Amino acid sequence: MRVTRVRLPATGTIARADGERDVQGYRPDSYGDGFADVYDDWYGDLPGLHDTVRTVHRLAAGGPILELGCGTGRLAVPLAHLGAEVHGLDASAAMLDRLRAKPGGDRVTVHAGDMAEVEVGAAGPFTVVFIAFNTLFNLPSEDLQRRCFDRVARHLAPGGCFVVECFVPGDPPETVRDAVEVHTLDAARVVLRISRQDPDASTLSGQHVEFTEAGGVRLRPWHLRYGTPEDLDRFAAAAGMHLEERWADWTGRPFDDESTAHVSMYRAGPAPRPAE
């Protein structure tokens, strides 16, 4: 039996689009503010970075790119180094400050905002809009995830594409399942990852709890509302896009029933009719 494999998202929105508090008191910038100071240390060397950048750059073919949930610029800055016109949207000012401070960060046009709304002023349309590393699932409801697809479709250039990377949910537990894992263990600190999965709500919530030698305690909250690849296909179709390709990773490895993640490319417009 395959279990749900979860990688924490790059950054994103974990509250209602109207700015009011929602899931356990989180706001759109809760994740970013909680993880901005450690994000590059913990997640900066994730595998697949170069494959992601190379694939997005190839799909853009010289056109403008928008990353949703760009965070500290893990992907946006390398894309800009390749000469691409890159825009990044994120709800967290702390994350965007980190992006701007990086060498080459000034090459990325940043937009502060909710990825369920995708407000980027007069920028666009974009040849590629992408959202990596499960960040879509930071939106806490199906309605907000669907709204994200709808807003993206409005910002795509004719023939442009929306690329989404997410994990594939495994077999859910029969009841709510709690878990505690060790994230970091060294002489100066311990970081525990505490999570709760609710199969009925398709949610996974948790905290990274950091204990330091000096006696400090730091809480870093996160929340995911996950869905299947078929769920995302429905959102895309409702927004006027169609699934063109689906891979198991950013290298283009074929997606199959055993894949634990997917990279799905949605193209603006209806699916082409099969040749008769």
- Residue 58 tokens, joined: 């190839």
Question: Which carries the bigger pLDDT value, residue 139 or residue 19?
Answer: 139
Contacts for 71 with CB less than 8 Å, ≥ 6 apart:
10, 11, 32, 39, 90, 92, 95, 98, 99
Task: Give me the DSSP letters along the chain.
Answer: -PPPP----SS---S-TTS---GGG--TTHHHHHHTTTHHHHHTT-TTHHHHHHHHHHHHTTS-EEEET-TT-TTHHHHHHTT--EEEEES-HHHHHHHHHSTTGGGEEEEES-TTT---TT---EEEEEE-TTGGGGS-SHHHHHHHHHHHHHHEEEEEEEEEEEEPP-PPPSS-EEEEEEEEE-SSEEEEEEEEEETTTTEEEEEEEEEETTS-EEEEEEEEE---HHHHHHHHHHTTEEEEEEESSTT-PBP-TT-SEEEEEEEESPPPPPP-
Can you read off the two tokens belonging to residue 151?
Answer: 């807003």
pTM for this entry: 0.86
pLDDT band at 28 (very low <50, low <70, confident <90, very high): low
Name 249's bridge partners. none
Cα separation of the two ends of the chain:
41
pLDDT-above-90 percentage for the chain: 68
Residues 35, 200 contacting (CB under 8 angstroms) = no
Domains of the chain by start residue, with CATH: 23-169+227-268 (3.40.50.150), 177-223 (2.20.25.570)
Between 61-65, 116-120, 247-251, the lowest mean confidence (pLDDT) is in 116-120
Q: Compute the average pLDDT of residues 13-29.
A: 46
Per-residue pLDDT band at 245 (split at 50, 70, 90)? very high
d(CA 34, CA 220): 5
Distance CA 155, CA 63 (A): 13
Measuring CA to CA, which residue among 227, 206, 67 is closest to residue 145? 227
Res 42: pLDDT = 77
pLDDT score at 59: 98
Q: Write down the pLDDT at residue 12.
A: 36
Report, as an integer, the average pLDDT of 86-115: 96
- 157, pLDDT greater than 90: yes
Q: Which two tokens stand for residue 1?
A: 């039996």
* Tokens encoding 221: 């909250």
Answer whether residue 23 shows pLDDT above 80. Answer: no
Reply yes or no on whether the pLDDT at 192 is more than 90: yes
